[in-house]
């Protein structure tokens, strides 16, 4: 009968520091979300996050996870692609005991924002980042099969300014927010508030999560994830149901195919 702590974040504005209310609840009193039968659902994303030991997961990362569950239950394909892609982004960033850096997502974010201003194609940068997502999928499979194997492993590292802490955050989220609509718009705005705190975090792993979630939410990646949604969603579901390696192969093939459209 272990108690758990529920954290409620309340922000009065997008830039206001949210207040935090803590309440102690018995784990047996918390009812997990039910599967609504959708290709992506809060049940599936919630179960996927269960593979990670969340004992030291930051509050704002947990906040992102909760919003991902809410996005997963939306009926539109864009929201479901956001939920699946963000789940993979967060799990990839949390799957090594020693964090790497966020050079890969930061480089893509900067390339995308620059392409909006210059009119140059973001295609090469997009292909490179999709390959990074495929590497994340492989890493998540390793973690799901044997967490202890990655306990002392170092996450991916690149060569960029500040280890990926310096990227065009506001410009990226302006685009992400402008592409959100309906009920999802409010949920994505909640993610902006959490991601902003992670963007300025001192902790490397938290900073990495913010960068990956930002990159995977950008419109070109969301389009790729929508095209590949079936196999990608199947991979997310496999993390709790077993045999993620087989589902991972299908998800990576689908991402490659989506790049060609």
Q: What is the pLDDT of residue 37?
A: 54
> Do 188 and 221 sit in the same domain of this protein?
yes
Query: Does residue 20 share a domain with residue 67?
Result: no
Global pTM value: 0.87
- Would residue 153 count as lying in a domain? yes
Do 134 and 180 fall into the same domain?
yes
Statement: residue 12 has pLDDT above 70: no
58, part of any domain: yes
Concatenate the DSSP letters of all residues of the chain into one string.
--EEEEEEEE-SSTTSPPEEEEEEEEGGGPPPPPP-SSSS-HHHHHHHHTTS-GGG--HHHHHHHHHHHHHHTSSSHHHHHHHHHHHHHHHHHHSSSB----HHHHHHHHHHHHHHHH----HHHHHHHHHHHHHHHHHHHHHHH-GGGGTTPBPP----GGGGT-S-HHHHHHHHHHT--THHHHHHHHHHHHHHHHHT-SSHHHHHHHHHHHHHHSHHHHHHHHHTHHHHHHHHHHHHHS-HHHHHHHHHHHHHHHHT-
My answer on whether 25 and 50 are in the same domain is no
Any domain includes 128: yes
In a domain, 154, yes or no: yes
**Does residue 201 share a domain with residue 82?**
yes
Statement to judge: residues 23 and 102 lie in one domain: no
Task: Examine residue 38 and state whether it is found in any structural domain, yes or no.
Answer: no
Specify whether 4 is located in the same domain as 61: no
Do residues 182 and 73 both lie within one domain? Answer: yes
Same domain, 143 and 219: yes
- pLDDT for the residue numbered 32: 56
- Segment 151-206, tens digit of pLDDT: 889 999 998 988 999 999 999 999 999 999 888 999 999 999 999 999 999 999 99
Are 25 and 137 in the same domain?
no
How high is the pLDDT of residue 13? 46
What would the pLDDT profile of 26-41 be if each residue is shown by its tens digit?
A: 444 444 565 555 789 9
Q: Is residue 16 part of a domain?
A: yes
Co-location of 15 and 82 in the same domain? no
User: Within a domain: residue 17?
Assistant: yes
Residue bearing the bigger pLDDT, 30 or 97: 97
User: Are 147 and 50 within one domain?
Assistant: yes
The pLDDT tens digits of the residues spanning 113-127 come to: 999 999 999 999 999
> Tens digit of pLDDT for each residue in 219-240?
999 999 999 999 999 999 999 8
Q: Is residue 37 part of a domain?
A: no
Percentage of the chain exceeding pLDDT 70: 86
Q: Which domain holds residue 19?
A: 1-31
Question: Based on the structure, what is the number of domains in the chain?
Answer: 2
């Amino acid at each position: 009968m272990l108690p758990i702590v529920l954290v409620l974040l309340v922000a009065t504005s997008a830039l206001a520091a949210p207040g935090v209310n803590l309440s102690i609840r018995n784990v047996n009193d918390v009812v997990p979300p039910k599967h609504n039968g959708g290709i992506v659902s809060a049940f599936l994303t919630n179960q996927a996050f269960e593979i990670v030991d969340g004992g030291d997961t930051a509050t704002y990362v947990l906040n992102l996870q909760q919003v991902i569950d809410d996005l997963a239950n939306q009926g539109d394909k864009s929201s479901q692609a956001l939920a699946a892609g963000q789940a993979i982004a967060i799990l990839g960033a949390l799957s090594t005991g020693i964090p790497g850096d966020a050079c890969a997502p930061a480089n893509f974010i900067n390339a995308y924002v620059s392409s909006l201003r210059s009119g140059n194609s973001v295609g090469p940068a997009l292909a490179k980042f999709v390959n990074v997502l495929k590497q994340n999928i492989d890493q998540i499979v390793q973690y799901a099969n044997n967490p202890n194997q990655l306990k002392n492993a170092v996450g991916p590292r690149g060569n960029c300014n500040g280890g990926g802490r310096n990227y065009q955050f506001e410009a990226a989220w302006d685009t992400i927010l402008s592409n959100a609509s309906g009920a999802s718009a409010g949920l994505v705005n909640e993610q902006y508030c959490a991601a902003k705190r992670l963007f300025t975090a001192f902790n490397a792993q938290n900073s990495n999560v913010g960068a990956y979630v930002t990159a995977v939410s950008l419109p070109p990646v969301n389009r790729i994830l929508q095209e590949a949604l079936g196999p990608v969603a199947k991979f997310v579901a496999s993390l709790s149901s077993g045999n993620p390696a087989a589902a991972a192969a299908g998800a990576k093939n689908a991402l490659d195919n989506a790049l060609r459209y």
